[in-house]
Amino acid sequence: MVHAAPLAPPRPPSRAAPLVKRLFGSPLNAILTVLVIWALWSAAAPLVKWAILDAVLLPVEPAACRDAQGACWSFVVAKSGQILFGIYPIEERWRPMLVSAALLILLGYSLRPAAWRPRLAAIWALVLPTTLILMFGGFAGLSYVATTMWGGLPVTLLLTVTAIGGAFPLSVLLALGRRSDLPAIRILSTLFIELTRALPLLSILFIASILLPLLVPEWLLPDKFFRAMVALLLFAAAYLAEVVRGGLQAVPAGQTEAADALGLGYWKTQRHVILPQALAVVIPSLTNTVIVMIKNTSLVLVVGLFDLISSGKAALADPEWSSPAMETYLFIAAIYFGLCFGFGRFAAALERQTRIDA
Amino acid sequence: MTGQALAPPRVPRAPIAWKTVAAQSAAVALVAALLALVVVTTISNLQLRSIPTGFAFLGDRAGFKIADTVIAFSPDASYLRAIAVGVGNTLLLSLLVCLAATLVGVPLGVARLSSNPLVAGLAAVWVEAVRNTPPVLLLIFLYAVWSQAMPIGGAKEVLPGVLASIRGIAVPKLLVGFPAGGLALALAASLLAPVLAAAAARRAARPGRRRPPYAPAALAAVALAWIAAAALGGWTLEIPHAVGDDLVGGARLTPEFATVVFGLSLYTAGFIAEIVRSGIQAVPRGQWEAGRALGMTEGQILRRVIAPQTLRVILPPLTSQYINTVKNSTLAIAIGYSEFMTVMGTVINRTNQPLEGTLIIVAVYMAINLTLAAFLDLLNRRVQPERR
Amino acid sequence: MTPSTQPADRPAVELAGLHKWYGDYHALRGVDLSVAPGERIVICGPSGSGKSTLIRCINQLERHQAGVVRVDGEEASADPRRLQAIRRKAGMVFQGFNLFPHLTVLQNCTLAPLQSGAATAAEAEATALALLARVRVADQVHKHPGQLSGGQQQRVAIARALCMKPEIMLFDEPTSALDPEMVKEVLDTMIELARDGMTMLAVTHEMGFARQVADRVIFMDEGQILEAAPPEDFFARPQHERTRAFLGQLLH
């Protein structure tokens, strides 16, 4: 028999046909397509009219908004600075901008397994306090800005990143503790994790803000901002602990046995053999937790801190403008969407690359 | 005597590992020290600010109003009753949201896998929008939309018989007058029918044969009992009408309640859709192939082979989503619906007893959580296959 | 297990000029094969040679892009009714068993006949019980697949395929996922099936089985049939260089 060389596949039918076939191929699909197009038309047409056709973008002044039939985007343009950075002094806005950029880069950098070295802990220990100090100011010619003036995007990012950064080592200890053979440690870890996960975050924030002044000496937690940060940190620790525990369970038992056979002790085994594998497995869950924490910081509006949403509300209170609530909240939603979706896509790309390199 | 199994030898007790004892004692001591520090600070602070202690305040007059109530409440009622109203509101809200979100989320999850690109695309947009938006923002946005969309000084008819205005929504209410014994009879039937049907089904079951479905028969019997009781007693349909923007008659829902239920249902439906989608995709492809190889149609395979296996896979994440919904109900505080946390906030504010208030909050949520988790775990265990 | 009831002059399976691409990858490069009723064929070859693809094209779990596939005279096309007719004539046993875990063994076997309307409940159950007894799992009929051993599961899978009363049986590496001590019980079942006259195409590495039962052994490589011969000739005098190399590796 002659050895046949591979042939090119037959030419597929034209591009357009499959799409039309999928939309109208079966009776069910045809009905659904018609329904969806009708629904989109009845919903989208007035929406497009409001948001684009009748909308007002320029000039950026209150009079234009009052007369507008459609959306008033001039308000958003005028107030975007306040929404994004709160009532931070305008001349000093470069500081929160810098801080926000630094925190985003730090998050993205830390997700790569290639970066997981002891050096990473040092980087976090350096960057986090530096960002806080930069926000406070009060030295080297930088004016002092109290936490009551902080607001918007930097508050969201600061709370998220410090909560996750601080919670991470604690969560690893909790996860190891929950799997420990020592009963006292196991019970304590389990109690903390289960108690924290049973409570809504809002109640934890609430309890933290009303109870901590009572439980802890004044000098330890002077500030609403830091009380909220502690609450978010403890909350993140409990959830991250469960994520890490899932990763630990996924590592085959044979790994521990091999390490024992080689004479490595408990802590060395965890550090060099088990944890790297466990953490690599749960990168998707870790990024999911980061996205959830970004969204969770929006709750601090209930305890009186100025994140993106409450900054938006404050901007709406300006008596000079007509208070276009929908446009403002859509803008804020777009920011959150950009943050969360962008971070999610970045993490997915990272995961794909990790799998190829592995 | 070779090869016979022997009893194990008596092993002397292992020596005490002092290192592990020391480690555990250190951990316990650390926690105890922290607790001691906290207790001491608290007591001194309480005395400093002359804050009362104890739960006696629960019997005191509440002195504030609550807009949405499942049970009757007035400012003269006690704090305890106010808290009960809050818990009731939370439970009602969570139940409605779980129901609505499941009803919408399951078809949405299936839609995401549809071959129709419009349907699949729309479902994907919904899910992605919901996953990347904070729920509290969604609620605040919907509330703002409500205030702007409602006509000023009047009401709009959204569906036949359903009126909406700035004051809320009113739906037609069914009033049934049950005859004296009728209600008792209907209740008795509702309780007895499932029990009897289950017993009959168990007797009819034989090994290898599935238990004949008793649920439809029991449900039909219960429904008949209620319809009969209602028919005997007479019934009226109260249709709401508008006086200005005030809504009279029918069952009224406050705009806060309607917004929270609608918003949280939309939000949770997206997550349930994702759970359903990954559940369907988690069933191994070999199951589809085996069904096809046996000559079954795609629809038959989906119904008899894939769907039952999907149910097992999605039940654990679905139950934790339900528990999450109870926690998400606290977001209602952002638009002023009086669920449990809102009420507790007011109570703590008025009584100035944050310690006792916190204990109540923790106790209630732990109770809800444990009950829900236990019930759902039972359900889960019934659904999982028997293993070797 | 009834002997094949096809007319002797019509081939059970007919493949002519069969080509299959996965994207740009040319998996089957012009395969011609004719299987007579009652014939037993063993297909072997290195991995990636297209053996599983070939078998899966016969019952159209994979669609071919060029050439003809005919099962008992029924030609494969996109028409769903044709597809179903073909799939009822061809039974398949998978490497991973693919039993339905949420149904009992008995229900696994009666599901498809009941769904297709080919039998009443009583008939389906009677057939299933008889076949399950033949494959020697009669005492497990009310258990779930997860409670059986691998060998038992595969035997149930064979019975399940037979409950549809197929004309031909396709085996896709039926013993590759089994522990060695269970391979024999499955092979014995297949041998019994062959002895009763069932038309079979089996992709397998079990050369002992091939020697015992096959009418023809086929060697595939790179999407083509390189050699086809009765077992005595195939093993004693392989014609092709690559057949010899493959057999050398296998029979180490």
Does the CB of C242 have a partner CB in chain A at under 8 Å?
Answer: no
Whether C30 contacts C17, CB under 8 Å:
yes
B1 falls in which pLDDT band (50, 70, 90)? very low
Whether C101 contacts B304, CB under 8 Å:
no
Instruction: Measure CB to CB from residue B293 to each of C87, C100, C147 and give the nearest one.
Output: C87
A172 φ, ψ (degrees, to nearest 5): -65, -45
Burial environment of residue C248 by CB neighbours within 10 A (0 to 12, 13 to 18, 19 or more): exposed
Residue A113 included in any domain: yes
Rounded Cα–Cα distance for residues B293 and C166 (Å) = 11
CA distance A252 to chain C (A): 21
Residue A172 included in any domain: yes
When scoring A2, A7, A21, A26 by the number of chain C Cβ atoms within 10 A, the one with the most, hence best to mutate, is: A7
Q: Which residues pair with C34 in a beta bridge?
A: C14
A vs B, Cβ pairs < 8 A, gives: 146
C69: its two tokens? 């596939």
Whether A248 contacts A175, CB under 8 Å:
yes
Rounded Cα–Cα distance for residues C8 and C37 (Å) = 7
Residue % of chain B over a pLDDT of 90: 20
Residue A181 included in any domain: yes
C8 falls in which pLDDT band (50, 70, 90)? low
Measured between beta carbons, which residues in chain A are less than 8 angstroms from residue C66? 10
Residue-level pLDDT at A16: 54
Instruction: Measure CB to CB from residue A4 to each of C65, C224, C227 and give the nearest one.
Output: C224
Average pLDDT over residues A250-274: 78
Whether C191 contacts C174, CB under 8 Å:
no
Interface touch B293/C84, C-beta < 8 Å: no
Only one residue has tokens 């004016």, namely A143
Pick the residue from chain B with its C-alpha nearest to A203: B341
CA angle B220, B221, B225 (to 5 degrees): 115
Residue-level pLDDT at A79: 86
Is A338's pLDDT higher than 60? Answer: yes
Collapsed DSSP state (helix, strand, coil) of residue B174? strand
Residue A40 included in any domain: no
Is B46's pLDDT higher than 70? Answer: yes
Question: Looking at B127-136, B221-230, B287-296, B369-378, which range is the least confident one?
Answer: B221-230
C187-245 pLDDT, tens digit each: 999 999 999 999 999 999 899 999 999 999 999 999 999 999 999 999 999 998 999 89
Q: Give the chains touching B; criterion: ≥3 Cβ pairs < 8 Å.
A: A, C
Instruction: Measure CB to CB from residue C65 to each of A3, A4, A9 and give the nearest one.
Output: A9
Measured between beta carbons, which residues in chain C are less than 8 angstroms from residue B300? 115
Instruction: Measure CB to CB from residue C141 to each of B208, B284, B385 and give the nearest one.
Output: B208
Is A352's pLDDT higher than 90? Answer: no
Count other C-beta atoms under 10 Å from residue B189's C-beta: 19
Whether B339 contacts B89, CB under 8 Å:
yes
Quickly list DSSP for A149-199: G--SHHHHHHHHHHHHHHHHHHHHHHHHHHT-S-HHHHHHHHHHHHHHHHS
B270 falls in which pLDDT band (50, 70, 90)? very high
Residues 192-231 of C with CB under 8 A from A: 222-227
C83 contacts: CB under 8 Å, gap ≥ 6: C60, C76, C77
Interface touch A1/C225, C-beta < 8 Å: yes
Is A214's pLDDT higher than 70? Answer: yes
Measured between beta carbons, which residues in chain A are less than 8 angstroms from residue C223? 4, 6
Mean pLDDT is highest, among A323-327, B159-163, C138-142, for C138-142
Collapsed DSSP state (helix, strand, coil) of residue B162? strand
When scoring A215, A230, A287, A327 by the number of chain B Cβ atoms within 10 A, the one with the most, hence best to mutate, is: A215
Instruction: Measure CB to CB from residue C66 to each of A1, A6, A10 and give the nearest one.
Output: A10
Interface touch B309/C115, C-beta < 8 Å: no
Average pLDDT over residues C44-61: 92
> B176 or C158, which is more confident?
C158
B265 falls in which pLDDT band (50, 70, 90)? very high
Whether C192 contacts C209, CB under 8 Å:
no
Amino acid (1-letter code) at residue B361: I
Is B209's pLDDT higher than 60? Answer: no
Interface touch B115/A25, C-beta < 8 Å: yes
Average pLDDT over residues A246-254: 83
Strands C90-93 and C168-172: parallel
Residue-level pLDDT at B350: 85
Q: How remote is the C-alpha of B251 from its chain's centroid? A: 22
Amino acid (1-letter code) at residue C47: S
Residue A235 included in any domain: yes
Whether A309 contacts B139, CB under 8 Å:
no
Q: Which residues pair with A72 in a beta bridge?
A: A56
CA distance C84 to chain B (A): 5
Collapsed DSSP state (helix, strand, coil) of residue B156? strand
CA distances from B338 to B86, B93, B348, C65, C75 (A): 6, 11, 14, 64, 69
Residue % of chain B over a pLDDT of 70: 87
Residue-level pLDDT at B208: 54
Q: If you count them, how many residues does chain B have?
A: 388
Quickly list DSSP for B228-292: HHHHHH-EEEE--EEETTEEESSEEE-HHHHHHHHHHHHHHHHHHHHHHHHHHHHS-HHHHHHHH
Residue-level pLDDT at C160: 93
Mean pLDDT is highest, among B48-62, B182-196, B245-259, B334-348, for B334-348
Residue A83 included in any domain: yes
The CATH number of residue A328's host domain is 1.10.3720.10
Residue % of chain C over a pLDDT of 90: 61
Measured between beta carbons, which residues in chain B are less than 8 angstroms from residue C99? 290
Is the entire prediction scored with pTM above 0.90?
no
B95 contacts: CB under 8 Å, gap ≥ 6: none
Question: Looking at B81-90, B379-388, C168-177, which range is the least confident one?
Answer: B379-388
Average pLDDT over residues C130-145: 94
Instruction: Measure CB to CB from residue C111 to each of B304, B309, B388 and give the nearest one.
Output: B304
Interface touch C98/B284, C-beta < 8 Å: yes
Question: Looking at A3-7, A248-252, A323-327, B369-373, which range is the least confident one?
Answer: A3-7
Only one residue has tokens 């803008």, namely A331
C1 falls in which pLDDT band (50, 70, 90)? very low
Interface touch A9/C30, C-beta < 8 Å: no
Interface touch B286/C96, C-beta < 8 Å: yes
Average pLDDT over residues A334-357: 82
Only one residue has tokens 């924490």, namely A293
Residue A227 included in any domain: yes
Residue-level pLDDT at C5: 52
Interface touch C112/B297, C-beta < 8 Å: no
Amino acid (1-letter code) at residue B317: P
Is C2's pLDDT higher than 50? Answer: no
Does the CB of C26 have a partner CB in chain A at under 8 Å?
Answer: yes
Helix (H) or strand (E) holding B121: helix B117-131
CA angle B117, B120, B125 (to 5 degrees): 115
Please confirm whether the linkage preceding A276 is cis (ω < 30° from 0): no
Rounded Cα–Cα distance for residues A42 and B25 (Å) = 68
Is B372's pLDDT higher than 50? Answer: yes
Burial environment of residue A229 by CB neighbours within 10 A (0 to 12, 13 to 18, 19 or more): buried
Interface touch A4/C24, C-beta < 8 Å: no
Only one residue has tokens 């063993």, namely C42
C25-40 pLDDT, tens digit each: 889 999 999 999 999 9
Amino acid (1-letter code) at residue B253: L
Is A242's pLDDT higher than 60? Answer: yes
Rounded Cα–Cα distance for residues A341 and A335 (Å) = 10
CA distances from B29 to A81, A194, A216, B262 (A): 50, 21, 19, 49
Residue-level pLDDT at B177: 66
Helix (H) or strand (E) holding B50: none
When scoring C219, C224, C239 by the number of chain A Cβ atoms within 10 A, the one with the most, hence best to mutate, is: C224
Measured between beta carbons, which residues in chain A are less than 8 angstroms from residue B125? none
Measured between beta carbons, which residues in chain A are less than 8 angstroms from residue B341? 200, 202-203, 206
Quickly list DSSP for chain C: -PPP-S-TTS-SEEEEEEEEEETTEEEEEEEEEEE-TT-EEEEE-STTSSHHHHHHHHTTSS--SEEEEEETTEEP-S-HHHHHHHHHHEEEE-TT----TTS-HHHHHHHHHHHHTSS-HHHHHHHHHHHHHHTT-GGGTTS-GGGS-HHHHHHHHHHHHHTT--SEEEEESTTTTS-HHHHHHHHHHHHHHHHTT-EEEEE-S-HHHHHHH-SEEEEEETTEEEEEE-HHHHHHS--SHHHHHHHHHHT-
Average pLDDT over residues A340-350: 86
C57 falls in which pLDDT band (50, 70, 90)? very high
Instruction: Measure CB to CB from residue C226 to each of A1, A7, A9 and give the nearest one.
Output: A1
Only one residue has tokens 């109540």, namely B360
Contacts for A39-42 with beta carbons within 8 Å, 24 or more apart? A40/B122
Residue-level pLDDT at B260: 92
Residue % of chain A over a pLDDT of 90: 19
Whether C163 contacts C85, CB under 8 Å:
no
Nearest to C185 by CA among C167, C147, C158: C158
Instruction: Measure CB to CB from residue B137 to each of A36, A326, A332 and give the nearest one.
Output: A332
- In chain A, how many domains are there? 1
Amino acid (1-letter code) at residue A194: E
Rounded Cα–Cα distance for residues B343 and B354 (Å) = 13
Q: Give the chains touching A; criterion: ≥3 Cβ pairs < 8 Å.
A: B, C
Only one residue has tokens 């497995």, namely A281
Nearest to B168 by CA among B230, B86, B260: B260
Collapsed DSSP state (helix, strand, coil) of residue A349? helix
Whether C82 contacts C54, CB under 8 Å:
no
Average pLDDT over residues A202-224: 79
Residue-level pLDDT at B10: 67
Interface touch B341/A202, C-beta < 8 Å: yes
Residue A73 included in any domain: no
Average pLDDT over residues A269-283: 82
Amino acid (1-letter code) at residue B217: A
Rounded Cα–Cα distance for residues A269 and A255 (Å) = 9
Residues 9-48 of A with CB under 8 A from C: 9-10
The boundaries of the domain holding residue A206 are 79-354
Strands B251-253 and C74-75: unpaired
B vs C, Cβ pairs < 8 A, gives: 74
Pick the residue from chain C with its C-alpha nearest to B384: C102
